[in-house]
Structure 1
Amino acid sequence: MATTGATSPRIRAYAPRDWAALYDVCLRTGADGADASGQYTDPRLLGSVYAGPYVAFEPELAFVLDDGERVQGYVLGALDTTSFERRCEREWWPALRERYPAAAWAPGSADGEVVALLHDPPTADPAVTALYPSHLHIDLLPAAQGTGFGRRLIETFTAAARAAGSPGVHLVVSRTNTNAVGFYRRMSFVELDGPAEPGAGVTMGLRIGSISE
């Protein structure tokens, strides 16, 4: 990560000019934090699912790590997960479903799995959103990992969500991404799921507000 010269890495609010950079970071961290660019036929696919709707609908909750040369990472999310899911169903998924018809992608391929998800997206458990209504996604390129900026990005997001009235935030992480799971535990996130099949995602939550804390 560039640190020479007068510019130091900094966290700043997302700007529309960052759109392509977020899609690139999403792809380059899409394999449990490692580069997934060789796994997908369409390099826009991951970003269209995991970054695009957030900066389109809730840019005020999107923050980037800028090293003066490029975006090295981001955190983004939704204040009210249930409302966000409904809006995506109305305003985001229909166009993607036309662009990525399910029948055009091989089942079980990396592209096919993501396309299947956008045609039948999961919804958050009401028991989770009752206490943790917000959710976030965070991705950092390898050069920015282990620098402390991951923690600072999450703190920036949770401060913004708290200021907007949220009492809690959750996220879903692959159980195979043990580094990420350990990081979230150190950030005081707690696992909200019971036992799951190996490789399944785990939902983790963090209380940030004052309602029934």
Structure 2
Amino acid sequence: MDVRPFQETDRAALRELFGRAGADSPTESLWGHLDSEAAVYLDPYMDLEPESLFVAEDDGQLIGYLAGCVNTRAFPSESERMEQAFRRYRSIFLSRSALFFARATFDTMAAKIRRTPAAEDFTDQRWPAHLHINIAPAGRGTGAADAMMDLWFTRLRAIDSPGCHLQTLVENTRAVKFFERMGFRAHGPEPLVPGVRYQGQKVRQRTMVREF
């Protein structure tokens, strides 16, 4: 297995991996349209900060990736990326995504009525960096995730970053345990994530932070 920085020649293979990584997890598919999901959670990292992108390869096939950003405030926010993706792909009009958007609208309105928080972007200069990590089923248990995190931590230490954050789901217990083992801890409230369901149930966002 080879764990290394992203190269431009990885682009097509990484895009293909995006479609199968995270299988069987609560975040396997969000609104059911792969191109617009990639436009939020993968493409901007390849385009804007490829030096913070790492991949794991086994026998010539990519099995995992870590997409990082050293300064969240200098990167387009998740909300901005989602808005651009929805506008570009007209995702709201796609039949396979309609249920997600209907649920998201209902969840957001219900949260406002109940005055309960909903998931939102996170920025805090104590933890300016952030990351997304995804492993295909074939890469789980191989040490690929640990090795990519080590490369990411090395990059953050090299630039004297004070800390890093990430956002996952409370219900993604496998991911939460992994991040805790990597030195992250829960931070702040755990609001509802509008529109997303796992095994038919609503899910909550967990923000996790790590100092250096």
TM over 0.5: yes
Whose strand fraction is larger, Structure 1's or Structure 2's? 2
The equivalent residue for 1:189 is 184
Cα gap change, 1:26/1:34 in structure 2, threshold over 3 Å: closer, same or farther? farther
- Higher RCO, 1 or 2 (CA under 8 Å, sep at least 6)? 2
Query: Any stretches of 5+ residues in structure 2 without a counterpart?
Result: 105-118, 193-201
Structure 1 position 123, deviation (Å): 2.5
Q: In structure 2, how many angstroms separate the alpha carbons of the residues matched to 1:27 and 1:111?
A: 24
From 117, 123, 142, the counterpart of 2:121: 123
Q: Map of 1:1-213 to 2, 5 A cutoff?
A: 9-30=1-22, 33=25, 36=28, 40=32, 42-85=33-76, 89=80, 96-101=85-90, 103-105=92-94, 106-109=97-100, 122-124=120-122, 126=123, 129-197=124-192, 199-208=203-212
Distance verdict in 2 for CA 1:102–1:71, change over 3 Å? closer
Distance 1:199 1:57, change over 3 A: same
Q: Secondary structure at the match of 2:166?
A: strand
- How far 1:109 moved relative to its partner? 3.0
Q: Tell me, what secondary structure is at the counterpart of 2:183?
A: coil
CA distance in 1, matches of 2:175, 2:68: 17
Letter in 1 for 2:88: R
RMSD of equivalent CA atoms: 3.1
* Pairs aligned (count): 187
**1:176-206 superposed Cα distances (whole Å, 9 cap, x missing partner):** 1101101111111000123545611101011
Q: Is the 8 A contact 1:172 1:203 kept in 2?
A: yes
- Helix, strand or coil: the match of 1:130? coil
Q: Which residue of 1 aligns with 2:108?
A: none
CA distance 1:108–1:93, change in 2 (3 Å): closer
Conserved 8 A contact 1:85-1:123: no
Structure 1: stretches of 5+ with no match in the other structure: 1-8, 114-120, 209-213
After TM superposition, the score normalised by the length of structure 2 is 0.75
Are 1:23 and 1:44, in contact at CA under 8 Å, matched by a contact in 2? no
Distance 1:134 1:94, change over 3 A: same
Query: What amino acid does structure 2 have at the position aligned with 1:150?
Result: A
